[in-house]
């Protein structure tokens, strides 16, 4: 089985289209999304429609959750908060219902999905240091959990090499055969934050237990122009060019 894992799409339609075109060439059986389908970006309706059309299986991110609810997310930064209000006004009733029904965790045959952490998915905590993943690694019933939220690609794992202790790697290809448990962030399709503006996504091949990270150029100018035309904060357009 070959999975494609899409992190934090953030309503970036151009990046999603480019990634789906690439995936069509890669002999993929199932496309997964670790949440934040929308928020920040300026094509929320089109992105939701395309995710549904392409049978992408998503879990709920903190932006999805905020947009689906009626509560003002005062804990968000001002740019995110503005984008939440704007996105809410764009969605149809059906799209908002679909968003509100996304699960926080999805258990699949070969892996588990959560947006932030597996042990407390509803808190949307950040995994910024390897030890932040300990709770998720302890909780994991299978071997592999895909997460998003930080928009920074990393593989955090416990294996023979680490003597069962938690270690991390930013290698683009990781052999997971000897791994006991892994939390994998495949980066972000729609708003990368590792100073590489190319869209990021992961491929997990269960036949050979190989995980690989892909980067893909897309038309950033087109998507940043859409953000400016929507009247969203300029920084949300600029950061796509910078990968921050
Ligand atoms: Zn996000």
pLDDT for the residue numbered 162: 86
Residue 163 has pLDDT above 90, yes or no: no
Identify the pLDDT of residue 164.
Answer: 84
What pLDDT digit, counting tens, does each position of 50-76 carry? 999 999 999 999 999 999 999 999 999
**2 in helix, strand or coil?**
strand
* Residue reference for tokens 């091949």: 205
Cα–Cα nearest to 151, from 116, 104, 119, 203: 116
Grade residue 160 by pLDDT with cuts at 50, 70 and 90: confident
Query: Between β-strands 166-169 and 154-159, what pairing exists: parallel, antiparallel or unpaired?
Result: antiparallel
pTM surpassing 0.75? yes
Compute, in angstroms, the gap from residue 151 CA to the centroid of ligand 1.
6
Strand, helix or coil for residue 104: coil
**Residues 21-43: pLDDT tens digits?**
999 999 999 999 999 999 999 99
Q: Is the dihedral of CA 162, 166, 171, 174 positive or negative?
A: positive
Q: In the sheet where 166-169 sits, what is the strand order?
A: 105-107, 112-114, 144-147, 179-185, 154-159, 166-169
**Span 179-183, mean pLDDT?**
96
239: CA distance to ligand 1 center in Å? 13
- Ligand 1 centroid–CA 42 distance in Å is 14
pLDDT in the model for residue 188: 98
On the question of pLDDT at 157 being above 90, the answer is: yes
Instruction: Please tell me the distance between residue 75's alpha carbon and the centre of ligand 1 in angstroms.
Output: 14
DSSP 32: E
CA 101-87-33 angle, 5° bins: 45
């Amino acid at each position: 089985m070959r999975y494609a894992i899409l992190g934090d799409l953030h309503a970036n339609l151009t990046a999603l289209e480019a990634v789906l075109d690439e995936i069509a060439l890669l002999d993929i059986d199932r496309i997964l999304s670790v949440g934040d389908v929308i928020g920040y970006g300026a094509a929320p309706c089109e992105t939701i429609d395309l995710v549904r059309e392409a049978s992408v299986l998503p879990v709920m991110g903190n932006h999805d959750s905020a947009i689906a609810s009626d509560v003002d997310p005062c804990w968000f930064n001002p740019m995110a908060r503005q984008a939440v209000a704007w996105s809410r006004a764009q969605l149809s009733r059906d799209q908002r219902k679909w968003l509100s029904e996304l699960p926080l965790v999805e258990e699949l045959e070969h892996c588990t999905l959560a947006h932030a952490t597996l042990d407390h998915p509803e808190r949307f905590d950040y995994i910024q240091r390897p030890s932040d993943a300990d709770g998720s690694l302890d909780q994991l019933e299978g071997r592999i959990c895909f997460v998003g939220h930080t928009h920074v690609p990393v593989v955090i794992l416990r294996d023979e090499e680490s003597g069962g202790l938690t270690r991390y790697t930013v290698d683009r290809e990781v052999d997971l055969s000897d791994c006991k448990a892994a939390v994998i962030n495949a980066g972000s399709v729609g708003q990368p934050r590792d100073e590489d503006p190319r869209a990021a996504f992961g491929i997990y091949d269960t036949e050979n237990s190989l995980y690989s990270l892909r980067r893909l150029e897309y038309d950033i100018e087109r998507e940043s122009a859409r953000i400016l035309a929507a009247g969203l904060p300029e920084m949300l357009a600029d950061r796509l060019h910078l990968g921050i």
